Amino acid sequence: MIIVLRPDATQEQIKHIVEKVKKLGLKPMISRGTERTIIGVIGEEDIIRVQPLEVFPGVEKVMPILKPFKLVSRDFKKEDTVIDLGNNVKIGGKRLIMMAGPCSVENRKVLLKTAKAVKKAGATVLRGGAYKPRTSPYSFQGLGEKGLKMLAEARKETGLLIVTEIMDTKDVALFEKYADIVQVGARNMQNFNLLKEVGKMSRPVLLKRGMSSTIKEFLMSAEYILSEGNFNVILCERGIRTFEDYTRFTLDVNAIPAIKSLSHLPIIVDPSHATGKWGLVPAASRAAVAAGCDGLIVEVHPNPEEALSDGTQSLLPEKFEALMQELRKVAEAVGREI
Ligand code: PEP
Ligand code: MN
């Protein structure tokens, strides 16, 4: 249920309503828009039906949210959410945000080299996994905290923000310390305990779509994070499982406009995991930008042949730089900028 306040509602009136909602044993979530404030009410809706909240001063109307996702929905918040990632980098506005870097943090040298190259090409966020969700327990599992420290060093050296994947609730404090954006990977999209924990974090969360998840399930996972109070969620379409096996996954371009209409949250695209082939990454990236995404996360490696993970889908730095040039034109054609 959402309580839409009048544009002239006072702080006192808002406080009064919030207190009333809490007294009823429900959880109020305040969203302050540019025009008006909305209070989302989470909990057993029947309780509130017996309370005529419409009569409270400052209230314009009370509406049920019929969709299962509430806080993430456009009904709850009409305007696009713009998230301040730090360093004056904002996602969800006119400018697209480019995140790039190796699949895994492998060593200082490769990481710093990649970081400098992607920064030069125009990226503002460095990606790199220190805890890797690998299909095989015998594959490289990541450097752990050592890898997080290398990412922090790369941030210091380049000024890039860091996005890196969390796999375990016990690592929350570490990620608060080292990451600017905390990534929840496709395989953990429905790890509800992890979603609740990152929902309590102070860092923005990059939530990747599960490879076999519907758009509705994806948004319900985001709802878990918002319901714990963290409204800074960036969604990421990264390809889904289909019958096609020529590519690693199938990029669901439909998901971009669909999610834009259903939710106010920013959505980015990962063309690297979606295709699994570096040669397909540029076309998938162009399609994603044309379809209205808010940014991309791209795997880049200075020596893909030697990469410890996902070399086949990693772009060489010069290929990434060329892609950035192309994307600037596509972005301009759809009223955006990079
Ligand atoms: C990654 O970004 O390195 C990754 C493992 O992606 P996904 O969770 O989308 O498979
Ligand atoms: Mn990868």
Q: What is the pLDDT of residue 48?
A: 66
The residue type found at 280 is L
Q: Output the pTM of the full model.
A: 0.92
DSSP alpha helix (H) spans, 201-280: 215-227, 255-262, 271-275
Give the atom of ligand 1 at the shortest distance from the alpha carbon of 127.
Answer: 2
Q: Which residue's CA is minimally distant from atom 3 of ligand 1?
A: 103
State the Cα–Cα distance between residues 287 and 13, nearest whole angstrom.
47
Instruction: Determine contact, residues 44/29, Cβ cutoff 8 Å.
Output: no
Residues in the chain: 338
Mean pLDDT by runs of 10 across the 338 residues of the chain is 90 92 88 82 72 86 83 92 96 98 97 98 98 94 97 98 98 98 98 97 98 98 94 98 98 98 98 98 98 98 97 98 98 98
φ and ψ at residue 182, rounded to 5 degrees: -100, 120
Sorted by sequence, the CB contacts under 8 Å of residue 288 that are 6+ apart come out as: 237, 251, 253, 256, 269, 271, 296
CA 283–ligand 1 middle distance (angstroms): 20
The domains found in the chain, sorted by start residue, are 2-63 (3.30.70.1140), 83-333 (3.20.20.70)
Instruction: Determine contact, residues 269/245, Cβ cutoff 8 Å.
Output: no
Record the tokens describing residue 220, joined without a space.
């319900």
Nearest to 163 by CA among 140, 180, 143, 178: 180
Q: Which residue's CA is minimally distant from atom 6 of ligand 1?
A: 185
CA 188–ligand 1 middle distance (angstroms): 10
DSSP secondary structure, 1-63, as one string: -EEEEPTT--HHHHHHHHHHHHHTT-EEEEEE-SS-EEEEEES-HHHHHTS-GGGSTTEEEEE
| Per-residue CA distances from 254 to 274, 292, 293 (Å) | 13, 10, 11
The residue type found at 198 is V
Residue of 211, 250, 270 with the most ligand 1 atoms within 8 Å of its CB, for mutation: 270
Give the atom of ligand 1 at the shortest distance from the alpha carbon of 297.
Answer: 2
Give the atom of ligand 1 at the shortest distance from the alpha carbon of 185.
Answer: 8
Nearest to 128 by CA among 137, 53, 143: 143
Give the atom of ligand 1 at the shortest distance from the alpha carbon of 188.
Answer: 8
Record the tokens describing residue 249, joined without a space.
């996954």
Neighbours of 33 (CB within 10 A): 15
Does residue 301 have its Cβ closer than 6 Å to ligand 1? Answer: no
CA 265–ligand 2 middle distance (angstroms): 24
Does residue 119 have its Cβ closer than 6 Å to ligand 1? Answer: no
